[in-house]
Structure 1
Amino acid sequence: MKAYLRDSDILRRIPPRELAAYLRAQGWHQISRIGDKGAVWAKDEGRDTAEILLPLDPSLGDYVLRMSEALQILESVEGRSQLEILKDIETVSGDLIRVRVQRRDVHDGTVPLEEGVKLIQGVRDLLVAAASAAVSPKPYFHSRRPNRVTEYIQKVHLGQTEQGSFVVTALSRVTPELMRGQQMLLFDDGEPPFERQVTMKLADSLVATREAAEVASSLGVFDAFEEGVERGINANLCQALEFIGDEPEVMQVDVRFSWAPIRPISRPISSYVSFPSDMLPIIKEAGRMLKAISPVEDVELRGVVVNLARELDEDAGSVVVYGFLDGQIRRVKIHLSHDQYQLAIQAHDRKQPVVCYGELVREGNGFVLKSPRGFRIERVAEE
């Protein structure tokens, strides 16, 4: 059954540039132009040639009519409904991420309001995790985000929900790929724009997470998750997946990608990955462990020096500080320069507290403060 678009408001809202990008992606070519009012596009269909007159100015009196005619021609050429074609036109300039939750209690394409909000938040968290990994892969990202990640998330659009259990869509727009004739640019580094890097990183990281979960399920080891950090696995991604599927009624979480036609994918990449519900507890535990092994940046350590160690022929040395971390007293080892070590000796002898900043890393059963800076004796106010 064919569905014709008669709504003039919908037709008038179709941007000429979006339709032009869609036509180009479908193999159409502009053959002539009528000033700034219209352009003629053509496509060979066997022995025949289909033509579309694309209006360029939405203020023209016949803009709606010409858009309606264009959709009718595309419907005839593609053998698809105008509604399907319109949906693809609307998303032609962006990568579309569809996250589907298959639930036992969904039969009409709806979910409880709270669950819908939770799913949208989970999709947002997936994109934040992928964008953070695209900037710099790490096992875990703390609350402070790089500006590039924040700017990217602000540009992502939430699409219409779709039927099929319950599907949330997110549109990540990308810039079109342009060529200089048939030549490659001399100094082009070949890297896609950051928006495409994020969606590709999300696809790669989800596949890596699925593979790591399968290994963990078979062998009971965590290693594959840690090895997959460079591919984009991180605790935040694992937590987002578990958050989306953390309900007894959830049977499976599916993620599907549709890549923007205006910028072809530069390498083979998966467009679909699924996570059955029995895999999510493994992913949850992996997220906890990734967070546990992740360095904590910009830590302020306050405590007392309880141990000093230095080789006879070395100027630098190591100290152990008893200090508070996460509300608990911890033994933290610090490798100090000559001047810092001299201050540590003084603090130890006088039983004075010290302050130091750095990156906290768990090693074995203990902690190490790496890249120490600002090591000083804390002056205690006299009563």
Structure 2
Amino acid sequence: MLADSLELIHKLIVERSHMPSKRELNAAVLQGVSSDACVALADLISNPASGELDVSFQWAVTAAPPRVGRDRLEFPAESAPAITEMGHLLKENVHIEERVIYGFVSSLDREPDDDEGTVKVKALIGGRMRPVKMVLRGPDYHNAVESHDLKQRVVVAGTLDRAGNGSLYMSRVDFFRADDYLPMQANLGFDD
């Protein structure tokens, strides 16, 4: 979503005094930031007629607003060169070699005192719905619980592996979040 991308660019460039690391750039791509978005934003900001870009978000009252941290972002003209540089770095250096899946949290398992828990996400893989098991920690696990309760679709990026018995699991999860773009229409039989 555009609002998420703008907020992330603001966080990585305007709020900092240094360029994002390669890992941060990889994470930004997984969250929807593109080289083209950075270049277009920098072009808007660097236009002498505009000087500074002030973006405000207003959401329709008929639906729950997406998870955007702020209602307003300011991009000063001085940030244009750094945003342009971020766009060039994204184009030249970031190559995503991970698997991204979209699905629904179908089960959660965690002991009360543990910081991590096992989560199953039902996702379309190879033309059919398959459960994918993963271990999540801290905020990611809490996001999984919330997504399960709200029946929200999730997006997960990481290394997808197949066990000897054919079951799927993510041995490394780099990114997990609710995908606010498409709500679950009905219970599609994802319960275990």
TM-score of the aligned structures, taking structure 1 as reference length: 0.23
Greater relative contact order: 1 or 2 (C-alpha under 8 angstroms, separation 6 or more)?
A: 2
- Higher helix fraction: Structure 1 or Structure 2? 1
TM-score of the aligned structures, taking structure 2 as reference length: 0.43
- Higher strand fraction: Structure 1 or Structure 2? 2
